[in-house]
Amino acid sequence: MKKTTILILFIAALALISCGDESSTADQNSAGLAAVDGDASSHVDKSQTAENQENIAICLWTKVGLRSAPGRGKDAEYLTTIYFGEKVELTGDEKEDSDRNYLRVKLSDGSEGWADEALFSEGGSLAVATSSLPLYKRPDLATMQGKNFEKGELLIVKAAENGWQEAVGFEKRREGWIQANTQISDKQEDILVCMLYQRAISTDNADDKKKQLETIMSNSALTGSDFIYLVSDALSGMGESEVVEEIPSVEVKDNELFIIANKLNVRTSPTIDVENVTFQMEKGQVATIIQKAASREQVNGMEDYWYKIEYKGQQGWVFGFHTSKRIGL
């Protein structure tokens, strides 16, 4: 049923994709589905040969322009956009322009053009880290870099060799070697969720970002992914920032607080970096304060204290900015 649903979405997405960088949010989301669904089997096909992998490249940047000629001059007319995680076929042609190397590539719809080689990973396949993965400079345990691919992070991995795999992440911010057979997933729904999530959170406009996240959550083919919590947490975080303009008039004691956000997540620990929402509270509800954090923290650009609270027999942590304890309120 999932494969059927995704196939239907892919066909619909092809009809919606725009050819310009100024395409709408919905079109960009659809393009993301098409980019993966159009070659979805390659993410999970264990029989994919090293030779086939060498003939493809994977986009590492949020958006890359496909052009009619190498470079960015008048002759290099913009054709369409290649999105993060999208696979392209290498035709074998390459040229230099302004000290940069350009590759002629073929997209899944058959269109061809030129793109900057530095913005792609040649060969390999997409995967998602299912836990924190240590990164090594070379295939040797003595060369640990002190950097990790974190859980939910997309990476491109090359074929395993002598117990090691080359790996590169988004915008080449992390690249090196990981131990083979470590905790990575090549499930189609996991890759789709993390890819579209990455694209959504890279969107500057808050309304567009929320719309993209909601589109992911409403796709029944994706909600079974182990990484769907990234999307729901992001949406919850956006909801927490929507503090009502009119503060409700509620009388509370010194050891109490009330909620001024429309909805507020109560968490098992004072952080929003992990899946730790235990329950939610609503505007005007009053809780008893058990503990106040020792220092202020920054959360989504807002600075305040975390408070451990109790509400109707349940305990957890809330961020003070969204309560009557907000600094300066």
Q: Which CATH superfamily is domain 256-322 in?
A: SH3 Domains (2.30.30.40)
pLDDT for the residue 30: 44
Helices marked H in 94-252: 188-201, 206-217, 228-240
DSSP 48-76: --HHHHHTEEEE-SSEEEEESSSSSSTTS
pLDDT for the residue 298: 76
CA distance 207 to 18: 20
pLDDT for the residue 52: 54
As beta bridge partners, residue 261 has 243
Question: Looking at this protein, which amino acid is placed at residue 207?
Answer: D
Q: How far is CA 319 from CA 114, 262, 268, 307, in A?
A: 48, 14, 12, 6
Residues carrying CATH 2.30.30.40, the chain:
2-122, 256-322
* Strand pairing class (286-292; 256-258): antiparallel
Average of per-residue pLDDT across 176-185: 89
Give yes or no for residue 100 having a pLDDT over 50. Answer: yes
Among 140-144, 176-180, 198-202, 227-231, name the one with the lowest average pLDDT: 198-202
* CA neighbor of 87 nearest in space, from 129, 136, 45: 45
Radius of gyration of the chain (CA): 23
Q: Is 140 left (phi over 0), alpha (psi -120 to 50) or beta?
A: beta
Residue 113 pLDDT grade (very low, low, confident, very high; cuts 50, 70, 90): very high
pLDDT for the residue 239: 57
Give yes or no for residue 163 having a pLDDT over 90. Answer: yes
* CA neighbor of 40 nearest in space, from 64, 71, 5, 68: 5
CA distance 39 to 46: 14
Q: Which residue has the tokens 């990981």?
A: 178
Give yes or no for residue 63 having a pLDDT over 70. Answer: yes
Task: Give 188's contacts (C-beta < 8 A, 6+ positions apart).
Answer: 6, 36, 40, 43, 44
The model's pLDDT over 19-49, given as tens digits with 9 standing for 90+, comes to 334 343 444 444 444 433 333 333 333 434 4
Nearest 5°: the CA angle 156, 157, 160 is 175
pLDDT for the residue 246: 55
DSSP 168-198: EEGGGSSEEEEETTSSEE--HHHHHHHHHHH
Among 9-18, 160-169, 212-221, 253-262, name the one with the lowest average pLDDT: 9-18
The model's pLDDT over 121-143, given as tens digits with 9 standing for 90+, comes to 998 999 999 988 999 999 999 99
Q: What is the mean pLDDT of the chain?
A: 80
Burial (CB < 10 A; 0-12, 13-18, 19+), residue 180, is middle
Q: Return the CATH fold of 2-122.
A: SH3 type barrels. (2.30.30)
Give yes or no for residue 111 having a pLDDT over 80. Answer: yes
pLDDT for the residue 251: 80
pLDDT for the residue 86: 93
Instruction: Indicate the pTM of the whole model.
Output: 0.58
Kind and range of the H or E run holding 15 = helix 2-16
The model's pLDDT over 227-277, given as tens digits with 9 standing for 90+, comes to 998 888 778 666 554 444 456 677 889 999 999 887 888 999 998 755 688
